[in-house]
Structure 1
């Protein structure tokens, strides 16, 4: 296990190579007279959100739009969760996907998105699932319904068995020829809501790691047994479908999250189920406390009824279980003084070290969409120095929640503010920045909305009367063909969503260009 908050040597090597691609792309796009120096090249990242086939298809369209603008080579990172990991995993089978036309990949995805899925439950498929799960158990993994879901995803997205593994994606970034993919999950614990306990986990072709602890292991060793930072038993690396099942585990929902869909507050449930903690320091301010020390508190555990209610509300149908590579590892006793730990210190156990350091045998991981539905956390590691975020989001609420979360964590992020009227009538693109904070990234926000696409089939090209139907997309109603649980689209619906996502990028190219220019200018000013 690698213990530290710096980037691994493989990623640093990737960044050095990728900057050459980005520098050449920026020179061509902006017709620069001179080559950009390494320190002048901005780091641009695409951030996506989840949502099943809708997110998968939307990401294909957005990438196609960036490709047509010759901006895809300007991207250094792509982060994903839930449905967008399906797109990323498919693309990164091809070691040079971003250097080619994307039509073939989009066509293959359309074939899978529009095929009949009923044979997913055929007797032959059930036998296949059983055989694969038995083999996985023999390999030493703890199997769950999430693994079965991963095998179903394999069928939904492929014509046959997919032997692809995450570590094999190193071939797609070894020369810096594609952006580095980052897949995101969150680690949870029993009897705690996702808001009360979650720890960000990032997956790259190089490493898998917990952001808060700065603990990383090589990707091919994820799932193997560790003790005190040493590998005890090597398990075969999981196929990508099992990871996709975890990254998009819709079956990890609990009653408290279902409650949150219709209510904006968990205060009622917290009042009756959470531990009661009083800060003694507020009553007795004369008690000395050093900056890195914990405040003195009184702790009252919940009673039997509250415990029962808490268990019922927080219990998840299924959670992906993997051997905890932090098992037996004692965190440094001065961890509260570590600024990187404090950046992600946000669980209810962070103020109770004796419970926090009781590392369980297995890590329980779920879809990051169950928290604030964003894959941005790993890209806000200061070591990655991301200058521009291209946020591909479904709704404004997800970006608003992310902004509030990062503000609470004191992580540099621009303030996101729209009026109630603006929230009801979202535009296709927004640019947010904090000009007073040079460390704060620039955010280009591209919500999935159907605005001018209703009347224009391409930027500046109006639809004729016979083409108006092609601009009509129902994205939000209950009867929408693009609901999160839809596993099959018609060819027409697939193409409409793809075209909308591509159009929104093309139609707002000037805003994206403006953000890149601002980032380059900021880089030059910082070096002066």
Structure 2
């Protein structure tokens, strides 16, 4: 026991924040392994035969990006990955990165070890059977509710996103390293935004706002500041781990009143102004009235508050609504605790009591977070770190990470890091609005930070957005080549783009997705890739040729230099 304690303390002391410019060691080694796989794929695709003559040759670095777009992005991104794999193009890719709905697809891809056939089959089955394991989702929410830094992100992940995707992914990133480290699968990068920094509109384009998760590390690329992914959420001070917390999973990545409360808060979190909230309050009022306990002061107070709020719901502020829901849940918890000390019958069966109390506690936390609009709460691993110059980064005890869709809606800033040396970006845009907004925003971001990126005139972007085609190739003097693929386009959308956008709106709920709609969307996203196979092959071969030519020239220059030295 003593040895174990000493080992644990030693581990804590040795776990420090890494301030390293460039790639982390684990990523560098995984990308090196992936390089061999990419060269093999290029050879099959009809290029890079010369690579065997250059033992020092490295493959070109190709990144696939998926935009946000909710459930639409989730399904469409799976279709893209599936078709890239079918065409043999996925093996030529080094990085996969996404935001929002695309990260849901990437999570499925890595939890299933890249088996796109199995992922598709399960996806179709879930939506055909209208399956959602509400019990398991609630259990995960309650479990998260016991954490010190519970936030709306937990509730959204387990109770909203899991219902939308019909899937609850309780795997951890750090537990899925095998195939990535062996080079079998591309290296994944999940994007988030530092919400505290992003709130200031002047810093919307600041590099520090971008946060990334990989299988190995989590942190701020602009600062080169990272911790092991398995330690994300743990407490650090002055760059050292002081308290370990369990790693968060990928989702963060039947009692009537409990159901009513849960349903009520779920709707409130999704939309505090939803018209259905008042009706749900009225139903809850009726059920509490039916179970009232005479002169019980606690139950009487709950009913008085509820009656007042039902009457004035549309007149009070969102903050007052949040505070009321918090008080309501607390009163129901007290009601049950009071019943245990009196002769009054419980609202709930004795066996369900502990589950209900746990559920109510989570609801209380959720309502509090909702009133504060608090998302992605985590311990700041840079707290009081001496090597971080920015006061704003080192003085906060907590971080609040939010969906990167609030920024550029595509993870360009993460793959454009010089250390990653990406030569070709395959950008798949699943947004329902202007499919070139991500290009426009990225170009502005890169201009502000002097990052090489193809220049595109605003007039061109506006012209393209009126009737988008399925593929655009953007090239500049420096930086990567960008191939941009709008999901809804004139080449593949039979019946018109507007019809498709209306059918697959961002706020379309999972319950309205039939198997037919899921299958149609998968087919459309695959068709977009398949239609542009030759363009993809051409650009992949081109960057491969450029890469090998540079290596060849470098070898010739070194050889000439050595010969010159010998003559001297």
TM-score, reference length from structure 2: 0.67
User: Which residue of the other structure, out of 3, 28, 52, is the alignment partner of 1:12?
Assistant: 28
**523 and 162 in structure 1: CA distance in 2 versus 1, 3 angstrom threshold:** closer
**84 and 419 in structure 1: CA distance in 2 versus 1, 3 angstrom threshold:** closer
Return the alpha-carbon distance in structure 2 between the equivalents of residues 331 and 46 of structure 1: 33
- C-alpha contact (below 8 Å) 2:47/2:541 kept by paired residues: no
State yes or no: 1:363 paired with 2:379: no
User: Which residue of the other structure, out of 550, 555, 566, is the alignment partner of 1:526?
Assistant: 550
Displacement of 1:370 after TM fit? Answer: 0.6
User: Which residue of the other structure, out of 455, 468, 474, is the alignment partner of 1:432?
Assistant: 474
State yes or no: 1:110 paired with 2:158: no
5+ residue gaps, structure 2: 1-16, 254-267, 274-370, 554-568
Q: Which residue of 2 aligns with 1:486?
A: 509
Alignment length, in residue pairs? 412
- C-alpha contact (below 8 Å) 2:164/2:509 kept by paired residues: no
Q: Which residue of 1 aligns with 2:89?
A: 71
State yes or no: 1:221 paired with 2:231: yes
Return the alpha-carbon distance in structure 2 between the equivalents of residues 5 and 25 of structure 1: 30
TM-score, reference length from structure 1: 0.72
**254 and 215 in structure 1: CA distance in 2 versus 1, 3 angstrom threshold:** farther
Q: CA RMSD in A?
A: 2.8
Return the alpha-carbon distance in structure 2 between the equivalents of residues 493 and 65 of structure 1: 18
Q: Which residue of 1 aligns with 2:150?
A: 143
Deviations 1:72-127 (A, max 9, x none): 100010001111111111111133x2xx5x2221121223345537884xxx56xx
Query: Greater shift after overlay, 189-198 or 212-221?
Result: 189-198
Q: Could you list the runs of 4 or more consecutive aligned residues of structure 1 that deviate by over 4 angstroms after TM superposition?
A: 117-120, 250-255
Q: Which residue of 1 aligns with 2:500?
A: 475
Q: Which residue of 1 aligns with 2:290?
A: none
Displacement of 1:162 after TM fit? Answer: 4.1
Return the alpha-carbon distance in structure 2 between the equivalents of residues 163 and 113 of structure 1: 20
SS in 1 for 2:176: helix
Displacement of 1:331 after TM fit? Answer: 3.5
- 1:70-219 residue pairs with structure 2 within 5 A? 70-95=88-113, 97=114, 100=115, 102-116=116-130, 120=134, 124=135, 129=138, 131-138=139-146, 140-152=147-159, 153-158=161-166, 162-189=169-196, 192-193=199-200, 196=203, 199-219=209-229
Return the alpha-carbon distance in structure 1 between the equivalents of residues 540 and 158 of structure 2: 40
Return the alpha-carbon distance in structure 1 between the equivalents of residues 202 and 78 of structure 2: 31
SS in 2 for 1:17: helix
SS in 2 for 1:391: strand
Q: Which residue of 1 aligns with 2:8?
A: none
**481 and 420 in structure 1: CA distance in 2 versus 1, 3 angstrom threshold:** closer
Q: Which residue of 2 aligns with 1:39?
A: 57
State yes or no: 1:24 paired with 2:58: no
Query: Greater shift after overlay, 506-515 or 77-86?
Result: 506-515
Q: Which residue of 1 aligns with 2:427?
A: 391
- C-alpha contact (below 8 Å) 1:251/1:317 kept by paired residues: no
Return the alpha-carbon distance in structure 1 between the equivalents of residues 271 and 408 of structure 2: 13
Deviations 1:155-179 (A, max 9, x none): 54456x6431111121231211000
- 1:370-519 residue pairs with structure 2 within 5 A? 370-394=406-430, 395-417=435-457, 418=460, 420-434=462-476, 436-437=477-478, 440-454=479-493, 474-477=499-502, 480-488=503-511, 489-519=513-543
Deviations 1:491-524 (A, max 9, x none): 1111111111111111111221221122122213
**447 and 190 in structure 1: CA distance in 2 versus 1, 3 angstrom threshold:** closer
More helix by share: 2
- C-alpha contact (below 8 Å) 1:253/1:370 kept by paired residues: no
SS in 1 for 2:112: coil
- C-alpha contact (below 8 Å) 1:58/1:498 kept by paired residues: yes
- C-alpha contact (below 8 Å) 1:253/1:316 kept by paired residues: no
Q: Which has the larger radius of gyration?
A: 2
- C-alpha contact (below 8 Å) 2:194/2:211 kept by paired residues: yes
- C-alpha contact (below 8 Å) 1:141/1:322 kept by paired residues: no
Deviations 1:163-214 (A, max 9, x none): 3111112123121100011100000218934553561110000000112221
Query: Greater shift after overlay, 111-120 or 22-31?
Result: 111-120
- C-alpha contact (below 8 Å) 2:71/2:164 kept by paired residues: no
Return the alpha-carbon distance in structure 2 between the equivalents of residues 191 and 453 of structure 1: 36
- 1:242-391 residue pairs with structure 2 within 5 A? 242-243=252-253, 317-331=373-387, 355-357=391-393, 359-391=395-427
- C-alpha contact (below 8 Å) 1:252/1:319 kept by paired residues: no
5+ residue gaps, structure 1: 244-249, 256-314, 334-352, 456-468
